Chains A and B, each alone.
Chain A
């Protein structure tokens, strides 16, 4: 069974700094999908960024980028120039195939300090 591990329960950084959230996963599949979701306080979950395992190039979305290390089964999220609005729970997620379920990690609570 696939598992997703986020080893940082909580992090705090100053506004405008860069922060990296860690995620590791376990799977025997060769192709799969990885996601980072953001859940602001009392608000719904939204997608931050996604990565398809067969693509070697790391995904980027504006200030958000990932470091995907397939051999190490690592998928970290880097937030550059952090903003107060980035304060949220961040969940790493794994999907085996496009018609499969999504498995989430336990999350990292990120605080951006003014």
Chain B
């Protein structure tokens, strides 16, 4: 088991461009979370999936953000028409099924987005 994998690790983009990030969760983890973290702050919840179903999306998330998890495996997070305020670390986490003994989420190393 290689842990939660995120790609790319770093992304620099020009304002107005679209970007897409990928997250590969730990195998057999059916829950997948996306968070945004700015410098010195705690992770801010964006959205989460159980299998392929998107269960909740933060009200703070604008319509420029969309996430998918086709087939309940990897997930993508797309940001359209990026703005400088989108610059942050985007964290992905996964957690095992409810029936598992473990309850916590396991985090990836994140994708750092810089919008110039």
Q: Which residues of A line the B interface, CB within 8 A?
A: 6, 33, 35, 37, 43-47, 50, 52, 91, 95, 98-99, 101-107, 109
Residue B31 CB within 8 A of the other chain: yes
Interchain CB contact under 8 A, B105 and A102:
yes
Q: How far is the CA of A35 from the CA of B103 in the complex (A)?
A: 10
Closest to B47 in A: A101
A105 to B42, CA, bound (A): 6
Q: A45 and B98: CB pair below 8 A? A: no
Which residues of chain B are within 8 angstroms of A33 by Cβ–Cβ distance?
103
- For chain B, give the interface size range: 20 to 34
Q: Are A91 and B42 in touch, CB under 8 angstroms? A: yes
Taking CB atoms, residues of chain A closer than 8 Å to B109 are 43-44
Report chain A residues within 8 Å CB of B40: 107, 109
CA–CA, A101 and B46, complex, Å: 10
Q: Does B74 have its Cβ within 8 Å of any Cβ on chain A? A: no
Q: Total A-B pairs in contact (CB under 8 Å)?
A: 49
CB nearest to A43 among chain B residues: B109
Q: Are A107 and B33 in contact (CB under 8 A)?
A: no
Closest Cβ of chain B to A101, distance in Å, is: 5
B21 contacts chain A at the CB level, 8 A cutoff: no
Complex CA distance for A67 and B44, rounded to whole angstroms = 25
Q: What mask results when residues 50 to 73 of chain B are scored 1 for a CB within 8 Å of chain A, else 0? A: 100001100000000000000000
Residues on the A chain within 8 Å of B33, using CB: 101-102
> Does B107 lie within 8 Å of A98, measured CB to CB?
no
Interface residue from A46, A50, A95, A106 paired with B107 (Cβ < 8 Å): A46
Which residue of chain A has the shortest Cβ distance to B108 in the bound complex? Answer: A44
**Chain A residues near B55 (CB, 8 Å)?**
99
Give Cα distance in the complex from A50 to B109, angstroms.
21
Residue of B nearest to A48 (CB): B104
Residues on A with beta carbons closer than 8 Å to the beta carbon of B48: 101
Asked if A106 meets B104 with Cβ closer than 8 Å, knowing A44-B110, A101-B56, the reply is no
Per the bound structure, the CA–CA distance linking A13 and B93 in Å amounts to 31
Q: B45 touching A99 by the CB < 8 A rule? A: no
B2 within 8 Å of A (CB atoms): no
B45–A45 touching, CB < 8 Å: no
List chain B residues, Cβ under 8 A from A37: 107
